[in-house]
């Protein structure tokens, strides 16, 4: 069409037509195929994610530049990704959403340029980026241009890390290079049964190693939520996943120079909960559910758990105290007695670092019998993984409040936001036991010579019991630590919410700066 001959109205009509074409992307047939799989289109996902009518699209007329394999004859406006900006609860967000109806959402040079433009904008404006992934990976027809495009995105993910929040939703295939951009972001969410992530797919695995495995078992949402921990969240549907992203963002600031939004709190800050006085069983070996404690003390009982299915011996997630967004890390006595192992240490370390990077205060609830002993854990590198958590807490400069509910033994005591790792307020319940190790283990070590001399088994047990009582009187309480000032106060459990809120209030103007350096060298 000779646009020079067109009237202004005809030009406007042409624009409207081009927009319609861009919105149709790969065409009605492919859109129907997408729906038939129980998946939304790229645009439908964005519409659901953002506040009504707030989406402004960019680069909708971009087309690929490839002329190999007859590709010059197959072009679609937008080239497989919808990008732009809009708001969530009135706050600016940049977004990209891969469009599976165009070459399976595969990544071309121009698609990379579109995504990079969005990421650069988000960095410039100091706003989060949400990436919705649904892609067959590198666009095969473009060869190394596509690989280079991925690296351009990776580099931006890396430079944006700790500056703006980056969230990845996986709503379709995500193979090869496509998994690494999400892995570089702060939070990953997968939809059940319609998404998967793996570096190499089942066919390649079979060819190389002979192993036969289904797509779902290799890289489905359930596997990554429970076993690998690659995904922080799994959602039953895309809708649920999108609502979760909106909620998750409400706990975060726009960037590392801001604070998270403070919500109006109608929950009384001095709410006393008698149930907490009875929640810890009298016997130290009987478990209880730490989540009950969390739900009882936070605003309106609302807790957004992160990594719910992975390393369940530690709980991490977001809540609010008097309207202020707070990261919670808590040992879970209900699962493996709340012991620290490789996976739980890594899980919590990453969460602590996210909160610290984005000025979100940390509450740590301690009931930990120690690090999990055994060759399995030692060979898996518990030393290095435990050190990650210690490093993360010791490095963190955000307000840190710690409450020890029951056990706090050995190295795990030091790691779990102890006073000496710059904990600001460290409280304990009267049921706290703070010591190098539990009574029976301690007596085995301290009394080994004496115990070897006692031949009568009944005598031996009697002697051990006596020694354990002696040991417990000295250490199985919070008062030795309180006498030394390592615990700032022993508090009544029912009053925990109020004491935590007061402690965070006292931290409001906290300023701690770490020594200048290029970057730290956290034990990876």
Nearest distance from residue 505's CB to ligand HXC, in Å?
47
Asked whether the beta carbons of 314 and 349 are under 8 A apart, the reply is no
Asked whether the beta carbons of 275 and 297 are under 8 A apart, the reply is no
Q: Which residues contact 148 (CB under 8 A, 6 or more apart)?
A: 109, 112
Nearest distance from residue 168's CB to ligand HXC, in Å?
16
Nearest distance from residue 104's CB to ligand HXC, in Å?
2
The helix or strand, by DSSP H or E, that contains position 292, with its residue range, turns out to be helix 290-297
Alpha carbons 91 and 263: distance in angstroms, whole number: 14
Give whichever of 98 and 322 is closer to ligand HXC, judged by the CB atom.
Answer: 98
3-class DSSP state of 167: strand
Q: Which residues contact 150 (CB under 8 A, 6 or more apart)?
A: 107, 112, 138, 177, 178, 180, 181
Alpha carbons 312 and 333: distance in angstroms, whole number: 10
Nearest distance from residue 181's CB to ligand HXC, in Å?
9
Residue nearest ligand HXC by beta-carbon distance: 177
Q: DSSP letters of 329-366?
A: EEE-TTTGGG-B-HHHHHHHHHHHHHHHHTT--EEEEE
Alpha carbons 90 and 94: distance in angstroms, whole number: 13
Asked whether the beta carbons of 339 and 373 are under 8 A apart, the reply is no
Closest CA to 401 of 417, 385, 377, 383: 417
Nearest distance from residue 329's CB to ligand HXC, in Å?
33
Nearest distance from residue 101's CB to ligand HXC, in Å?
7
Closest CA to 171 of 48, 265, 327: 48
Alpha carbons 60 and 80: distance in angstroms, whole number: 10
Alpha carbons 388 and 209: distance in angstroms, whole number: 33
Nearest distance from residue 150's CB to ligand HXC, in Å?
4
The torsion angles phi and psi of 354, rounded to 5 degrees, stand at -60, -50
The residue ranges that bind ligand HXC (CB under 6 A) are 30, 103-104, 106, 136-140, 147, 150, 173, 175-178
Asked whether the beta carbons of 18 and 77 are under 8 A apart, the reply is yes
Q: DSSP letters of 453-486?
A: H---HHHHHHHHHHHHHHHHHHHSSSHHHHHTTS
Alpha carbons 479 and 197: distance in angstroms, whole number: 50
Kindly tell me the sign of the dihedral angle through the C-alpha atoms of 215, 218, 221, 222.
positive
Nearest distance from residue 32's CB to ligand HXC, in Å?
12
User: Residues with catalytic annotation?
Assistant: 176-177, 411-412
Q: Which residues contact 449 (CB under 8 A, 6 or more apart)?
A: none
3-class DSSP state of 325: strand
Helix, strand, coil shares, percent, the chain, to 5: 45, 20, 35
Residue 53: how many CB atoms within 10 A of its CB? Answer: 9
């Amino acid at each position: 069409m000779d646009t020079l001959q067109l009237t202004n109205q005809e030009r406007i009509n042409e624009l409207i037509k081009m927009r319609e074409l861009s919105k149709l992307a790969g065409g009605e047939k492919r859109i129907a195929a997408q729906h038939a799989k129980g998946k939304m289109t790229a645009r439908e996902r964005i519409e659901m994610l953002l506040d009504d009518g707030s989406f402004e699209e960019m680069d909708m007329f971009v087309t690929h530049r490839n002329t190999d394999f007859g590709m010059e004859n197959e072009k679609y406006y937008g080239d497989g990704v919808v990008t732009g900006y809009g708001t969530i609860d009135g706050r600016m967000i940049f977004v990209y959403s891969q469009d599976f109806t165009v070459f399976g959402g595969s990544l071309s040079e121009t698609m990379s340029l579109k995504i990079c433009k969005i990421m650069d904008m988000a960095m410039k404006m100091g706003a989060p980026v949400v990436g919705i992934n649904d892609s067959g990976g590198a666009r095969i027809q473009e060869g190394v241009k596509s690989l280079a495009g991925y690296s351009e995105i990776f580099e931006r993910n890396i430079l944006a890390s700790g500056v703006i929040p980056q969230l990845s939703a996986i709503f379709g295939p995500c193979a090869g290079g496509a998994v690494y951009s999400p892995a570089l972001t702060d939070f990953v969410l997968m939809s059940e049964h319609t998404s998967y992530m793996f570096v190499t797919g089942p066919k390649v695995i079979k060819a190389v190693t002979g192993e036969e495995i289904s797509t779902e078992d290799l890289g489905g949402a359930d596997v990554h939520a429970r076993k690998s921990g690659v995904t922080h969240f799994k959602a039953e549907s895309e809708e649920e996943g999108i609502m979760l992203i909106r909620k998750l963002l409400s706990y975060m600031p726009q960037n590392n120079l801001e604070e998270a939004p403070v919500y109006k709190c109608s929950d009384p800050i001095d709410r006393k909960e008698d149930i907490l006085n009875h929640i810890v069983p009298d016997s130290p070996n009987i478990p209880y559910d730490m989540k009950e404690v969390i739900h009882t003390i936070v605003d309106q009982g609302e807790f957004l758990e992160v990594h719910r299915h992975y390393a369940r011996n530690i709980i991490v997630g977001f809540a609010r105290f008097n309207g202020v967004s707070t990261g919670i890390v808590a040992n879970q006595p209900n699962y493996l007695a709340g012991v620290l192992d490789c996976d739980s240490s890594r899980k919590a370390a990453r969460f602590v670092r996210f909160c610290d990077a984005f000025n979100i205060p940390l509450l740590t609830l301690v009931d930990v019998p120690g690090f999990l002993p055994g060759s399995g854990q030692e060979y898996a590198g518990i030393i290095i993984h435990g050190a990650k958590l210690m490093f993360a807490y010791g490095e963190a400069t955000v307000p840190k409040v710690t409450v020890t509910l029951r056990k706090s033994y050995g190295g795990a005591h030091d790691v779990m936001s102890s006073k000496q790792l710059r904990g600001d307020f460290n409280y304990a319940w009267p049921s706290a036991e703070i010591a190098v190790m539990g009574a029976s283990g301690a007596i085995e070590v301290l009394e080994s010579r004496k115990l070897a001399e006692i031949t009568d088994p009944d005598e031996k047990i009697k002697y051990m019991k006596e020694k354990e009582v002696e040991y417990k009187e000295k250490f199985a309480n919070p008062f030795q630590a309180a006498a030394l000032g390592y615990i700032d106060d022993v508090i009544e459990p029912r009053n925990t919410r109020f004491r935590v809120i007061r402690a965070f209030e006292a931290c409001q103007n906290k300023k701690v700066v770490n020594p200048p350096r290029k970057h730290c060298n956290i034990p990876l």
